[in-house]
Structure 1
Amino acid sequence: MRKFAQKFVLLSLVIGISAGTMVGCGSQTTGEVSSSETTGYGTSVIAIGKLNGVFNPFFYTTAYDDIINDAVNAALIGLDREGNYVPGIADFTIEEVANDAGEVQSIYTFTLKDGIKFSDGEPLTAEDVMFTFLIQLDPTYDGIATMNTLDIVGIEQYTKGDATEIEGLKQIDDKTVQVTINGVDPAATQKFGVAILPKHYYDAEFVKGDLSKIKEKNGTPMGAGAFVFENFENNVVSLKANPYYYEGAPKLEKLKFQVTDQANLFEAVRTELVDISDPSASPEMVANAEEAGLDYELIDNLGYGYIGINAERVPDINIRKGLMHLMNRKPAIESYYGDIATVIERPMSKVSWAYPDDVEEYYGYDVAKAKEYFEAAGYKDEDGKLMKDGEQLRIEVGISAGGIMDHPSAPILTQMKSDMEAMGAVLEIADTDGAVFFDILEQKGWDMWVAAWNSTVDPDMYQVYHSTGPSNHYCIYDDELDKLIVDARLTNDVEIRTELYQEALDIIMEEAVEMPVYQRKNMYLINPNMVNIDSLPENMSPFYNFYSELYNLEMAQ
């Protein structure tokens, strides 16, 4: 069996998926696809989580819906296995120039490849690219895409004024579109790498300020992707091959996505209800797969687990450092994941090109050192309790672990609780459901919490660590850190950005607001009796998996 557990350190992209859009799997398994449809007729069935049925790359609300979007649509820009940006349906160039005022601007030029067609046979042209861009730049746009955050020349006059065109957005000819932005934005390539929609299908008479006709087709998508949407009925999405697909017609006649409960993902593949699923990776799941004779892939997850501390609720850095020294990570991760996860030492996915090589541990597990920091914060032993100004040292930590502490970081907290009790302090562990947990987190209501970040294409740290970042749950406000983060946004030079980000990571560790815990893996489970294993991509990575080559997927003979 093939097992891939590689480390990739180049640019990453999760097209259309941002941190926070992934939700839990559904609990419905009705409307199952009959086994007769999965054999002999060129039809493959893939398990998928609960679908909301919003199959539009700019308005979807769950990452599962976006899997369907990716199958139906084709994007301007894609990724190779190492996470480098590569042409999708268009070649592209980036040129830095000076405007009349001597200010730097970046010009992005997209040139469509020859012969690109939508699934109805109509040509895909620059007019469709313009239409797609204008959807996201519309003053009324309320979807998940972030192209409207780019400083495109003339964008403010368009979104806030009476302008009917955007100065920096131009159609050069039938195959070419050019976008000019002010300054340099390393994340712009990701934001331009979107699926292109057919104007003639969604809204041939599109005008600024009215996205209603586009949204009307959220449940009946059409694009230039490998497959054509047929229907979504009884928890099954049915697709058929697109004969006009630019990479070549798919080898499958049909492809179905079956909504499947997380708890049933292994059995669904073993019993041939579905051909491929993605259960949570664990030593037990690996053992089950091998015993059942199933093929599987283990791939580093583009994200990481961590324990955070709110610097406003725990303002004394000595207390925060003391807490860090009580986090015994390695035994916890080994007991939960075995050898399919690793402890990390900086708050960033090891998949990212900005994660430092050969980095050393910043805070080792050391109970005596922790007590020294608590004492440095002014706490003294009074009748077996660590007290300061009449108050016992007390920390509340939130974790969403199903009410039974089923979480890789749970053993860390239970040992912290025991260690703190032994020295006369209190750790209150609140194991809540996900909705309550994240509601309190958004309100900055936890002293300390356990969670995980999903990473995106670019390791831009602004959202999470900048003083004005919308997801700065740590309440860290550091001028030097802010400057490093902003400076890293002003250049496309990866070496310079890497150096800046690594300095920023050290500041975050010194501030003791986030303990990086683990880098886990994702798992794909495949039934070799149903799927031709040789039709799966070689050397899958966090950026390039079997979804990247659905058009090559074949049934077993």
Structure 2
Amino acid sequence: MKSNLRLRKLCAIALAAAMSAGSLVSCNSGGGTSSSSGSSPESSASASEPASASSDDSSGGSDAPFVYATDAFSQKFNPFIYTTVYDGEVSSICVETVGDYTRNGSVIMEGLGDGTTEEYNGTEYNYQTLSNITVDQAEDSTTYTIELRQGVLFADGEEMNVDDLIFSMYALLDPSYTGTNTFASNDFTGLDAYLSGEAANVEGIQRVDDYTVTLTTDGYSVTTIYDIIGVPIAPLHYYGDESLYDYENNSFGFTFGDLSGVEGNLEPMGTGPYVFDRYENRVVYLDANANYWKGEPKIQQMQFKETDESDKAAAISTGTADFTSPSGSIATLTEIASYNPNGETTGEVATTFSYDNNGYGYVGMNAATMNVGGDPGSDASKNLRKGFATLFAVYRDICCDSYYGDAAKVIQYPISDASWGAPKETDDGYALAYSVDVDGNPIYTSDMTDEQRFDAALQAAIGFFQAAGYTWDDATGTFTAAPEGAQMAYEVIIPANGGEDHPAYLLCEYVRSALETIGITLTINNPSDSNQMWTTIDARTHNMYTAAFSFGGSPDPDCYDRYYSGEIDSGNNNNAISDPTLDELLLNGRISADQSYRRAIYKEALDIVRDWAVEVPYYQRQNIYVYSTERVNVNTITPDITTFWDWQHDLEKLEMN
């Protein structure tokens, strides 16, 4: 399988660098293509009827622009190659993808005709997208049939058809592709032969008619559908070269091995609700797409304005912005509440929405540099890491509450709670992370105070270090020597740019102080440039580090890239876990469509990860959206925002006051 080695790392890098700024990369997710309406009488017409969806007052729209206070752009607004969430938001508002998710995180397989109706939070929502997708799973292959919506126009008035999609797919599969989309990681039939030059096309991509294409893969992978719905439908005539497109003669809109023209077009254009005008003085200017298939947006102009994190919430109060997505910290929520007369985060000045971020914060440990006798998988090596993990785990609650307050919660498994695969407290075998001692006995009792818990954790850590082979001196109550291959001093890297504003800063200080009392040194490395941490990780010389991982837009718990042993040398699997049982579970989890079976598979896999003690799961934070109650008609914001249903949905219905 061809793995896009950069995807997961880019997601993690972007999220770690912005973990206190509330941003994440939405890598390879479907999005921006759905329309939804509840079953209430007030619901708008569905997107299958764009004429009626565009109400009488939408033709003129609001004269006031909608201003979004966002972060700095890399100015790569191309749907194929953007790497930051901020560039991606600009791209996705202009260029839609094949499919999308429901609020629950289900893939919308039927987006045409009557669409798909699914209940969320007591309301029936209808979803319309640009396609229907059917899956035919045979013994040795799987065929995906994509039928596109007919009559959809690009913003420039040209009609969308299947050749635009085929062009986009071949661009993502080209060997010169430099972006992070993982479409090419799938085992499409004939892809190897095409990439090696042995075949003139990808056998698994077959044009059926002007609006239908089939994709065939060897075998079955549960992640393929997510990659398919994440393919941008980019207009061939705009991003490619029409003179170079001849499907019957194996020419797909560009010269094989040369995507310079495709990737060089940085002004996005597609079927989305808005049209890119310009980037000027740190502001992206967007105009309503009069040809939008769901109806022309009521707000005629949008501006995405680069704004410092510290100024985002204030921009809502001062009127310089109508919408923002700041960091969900205690300080930010307190600031927002101060602007409302009622002292709440939603009131007369600001309206706030929150939802689970599709990722999690953690402390990583490198098994390759934190082991005994050069054997990362031995019991002694695991006990060494469990000594550290036990201490990190016990201080999580106090540190998370101190930094995030109600905007985050401590988690027990290395997976986002937004995923359907996340273990629940009611599941058999559910346990708090690193809450038992070296003999398997519970470390804590329910009536312990915080100080008693800290003391109990330290005693448990001592037991783990002794089991790892460290020499303990009863007279001084400290360790005096490390076993072969281990050390008396280790380093943890915090990407806080030399400051203290980071959710793991206090956590590391607590653990450093505790270890100091027993003779073990934890050095906190807080480089002024957080990229230094990733340079060290890339070199595989790190011990411990604090970061956050993003699942992008996918609800799937697949964690092959992060924990499969074959990924250690590929730029993934930063913690060097190598366990044959885990490898088998990760492979089995990818080839079954049975969600119940897969959920059990991943629970077992995550238990192995915890046993190796290469990750201490830390927090699941909330993302927040803040609208100006004074200037935005908050009743027209897409209802029931979730991890998989963000603010860009139903934008054609959004109104200013």
TM normalised by structure 1 equals: 0.90
Aligned to 2:589: 488
Shift of 1:107: 0.4
Aligned to 1:387: 480
Shift of 1:146: 1.5
Per-residue Cα deviation, 1:43-73 (whole angstroms, up to 9, x for no partner) = 2111121112211111113221110111001
Identify which of 464, 471, 479 aligns with 1:373: 464
Identify which of 302, 309, 332 aligns with 1:255: 302
Identify which of 251, 264, 276 aligns with 1:216: 264
**Partner SS state of residue 387, structure 1:** strand
Shift of 1:445: 2.2
Aligned to 1:201: 238
Shift of 1:485: 0.3
CA distance in 1, matches of 2:472, 2:200: 70
User: 1:386·1:392 contact (CA, 8 Å) conserved in 2?
Assistant: no
Per-residue Cα deviation, 1:155-175 (whole angstroms, up to 9, x for no partner) = 111111142222110110011
CA distance in 2, matches of 1:151, 1:208: 23
Shift of 1:338: 1.4
CA distance in 1, matches of 2:95, 2:62: 27
CA distance in 1, matches of 2:410, 2:331: 20
TM normalised by structure 2 equals: 0.77
Alpha-carbon RMSD across the aligned residues, in angstroms, is 2.1
CA distance in 2, matches of 1:162, 1:363: 52
Identify which of 514, 517, 524 aligns with 1:422: 517
**Partner SS state of residue 299, structure 2:** coil
CA distance in 1, matches of 2:499, 2:338: 28
- Write the mapping of 1:73-92 to structure 2, written as runs, cut at 5 A: 73-86=95-108, 87=111, 88-92=129-133
- Write the mapping of 1:114-129 to structure 2, written as runs, cut at 5 A: 114-129=150-165
Return 5+ residue gaps in structure 2 as ranges.
1-6, 22-60, 112-128, 244-252, 341-349, 372-380, 436-453
Do structure 1's residue 461 and structure 2's residue 559 form an aligned pair?
A: yes
CA distance in 1, matches of 2:500, 2:333: 22
**Partner SS state of residue 66, structure 2:** strand
- Write the mapping of 1:222-301 to structure 2, written as runs, cut at 5 A: 222-293=269-340, 294-301=350-357
Aligned to 1:314: 370
**Partner SS state of residue 360, structure 2:** strand
Aligned to 1:179: 215
Do structure 1's residue 134 and structure 2's residue 173 form an aligned pair?
A: no
Identify which of 40, 50, 64 aligns with 2:72: 50
User: 2:471·2:482 contact (CA, 8 Å) conserved in 1?
Assistant: no
Identify which of 582, 607, 610 aligns with 1:506: 607
User: 2:492·2:523 contact (CA, 8 Å) conserved in 1?
Assistant: yes
User: 1:326·1:370 contact (CA, 8 Å) conserved in 2?
Assistant: yes
Identify which of 217, 226, 233 aligns with 1:190: 226
- Write the mapping of 1:339-358 to structure 2, written as runs, cut at 5 A: 339-358=406-425
CA change 1:426–1:24 in 2 (3 A) is closer
CA distance in 2, matches of 1:344, 1:434: 25
Aligned to 1:361: 432
Identify which of 94, 103, 117 aligns with 2:135: 94
Structure 1 residue identity aligned to 2:334: A
Structure 1 residue identity aligned to 2:242: A
User: 2:287·2:301 contact (CA, 8 Å) conserved in 1?
Assistant: yes
**Partner SS state of residue 546, structure 1:** coil
Per-residue Cα deviation, 1:62-105 (whole angstroms, up to 9, x for no partner) = 2211101110012110111111111321111011124xxxxx11
**Partner SS state of residue 491, structure 1:** coil
Per-residue Cα deviation, 1:381-417 (whole angstroms, up to 9, x for no partner) = 3463412269972221111123233222222221211
Aligned to 2:56: none
Shift of 1:548: 1.8
CA distance in 1, matches of 2:548, 2:386: 20
Aligned to 1:31: none
Aligned to 2:446: none
CA distance in 2, matches of 1:370, 1:21: 33
Q: Which moved more, 1:327-336 or 1:384-393?
A: 384-393
Q: Which moved more, 1:175-184 or 1:109-118?
A: 109-118
**Partner SS state of residue 141, structure 2:** strand
User: 1:42·1:554 contact (CA, 8 Å) conserved in 2?
Assistant: no
**Partner SS state of residue 100, structure 2:** strand
Structure 1 residue identity aligned to 2:323: I
Per-residue Cα deviation, 1:364-397 (whole angstroms, up to 9, x for no partner) = 3511111111112222234634122699722211
Structure 1 residue identity aligned to 2:105: G
Q: Which moved more, 1:507-516 or 1:39-48?
A: 39-48
Structure 2 residue identity aligned to 1:241: A
Per-residue Cα deviation, 1:315-351 (whole angstroms, up to 9, x for no partner) = 1222111112212211111111112211100010111
Shift of 1:540: 0.5
Percent of paired sites with the same residue: 33
CA distance in 1, matches of 2:469, 2:175: 54
Shift of 1:422: 1.2
Identify which of 67, 83, 87 aligns with 2:89: 67
CA distance in 2, matches of 1:40, 1:70: 22
CA distance in 1, matches of 2:97, 2:283: 24
CA distance in 2, matches of 1:212, 1:402: 35
**Partner SS state of residue 172, structure 1:** strand
CA change 1:362–1:18 in 2 (3 A) is closer
CA change 1:389–1:199 in 2 (3 A) is closer
Per-residue Cα deviation, 1:494-520 (whole angstroms, up to 9, x for no partner) = 111111111000001111111101111
Aligned to 1:11: none
Aligned to 1:550: 651
CA distance in 2, matches of 1:78, 1:40: 28
Aligned to 1:7: none
Shift of 1:256: 1.2
Aligned to 1:30: none
Aligned to 1:150: 186
**Partner SS state of residue 93, structure 2:** helix
- Write the mapping of 1:396-435 to structure 2, written as runs, cut at 5 A: 396-432=491-527, 433-435=529-531
Identify which of 499, 503, 516 aligns with 2:617: 516
Identify which of 537, 540, 546 aligns with 1:441: 537
Shift of 1:273: 0.7
Per-residue Cα deviation, 1:276-328 (whole angstroms, up to 9, x for no partner) = 01110122222221221211111111110111111121112221111122122
**Partner SS state of residue 337, structure 1:** helix
**Partner SS state of residue 298, structure 1:** strand
CA distance in 2, matches of 1:162, 1:485: 32
**Partner SS state of residue 295, structure 1:** strand
Q: Which moved more, 1:502-511 or 1:161-170?
A: 161-170
CA distance in 2, matches of 1:379, 1:509: 22
CA change 1:146–1:389 in 2 (3 A) is closer
Structure 2 residue identity aligned to 1:251: K
CA distance in 2, matches of 1:213, 1:436: 33
Structure 1 residue identity aligned to 2:575: Y
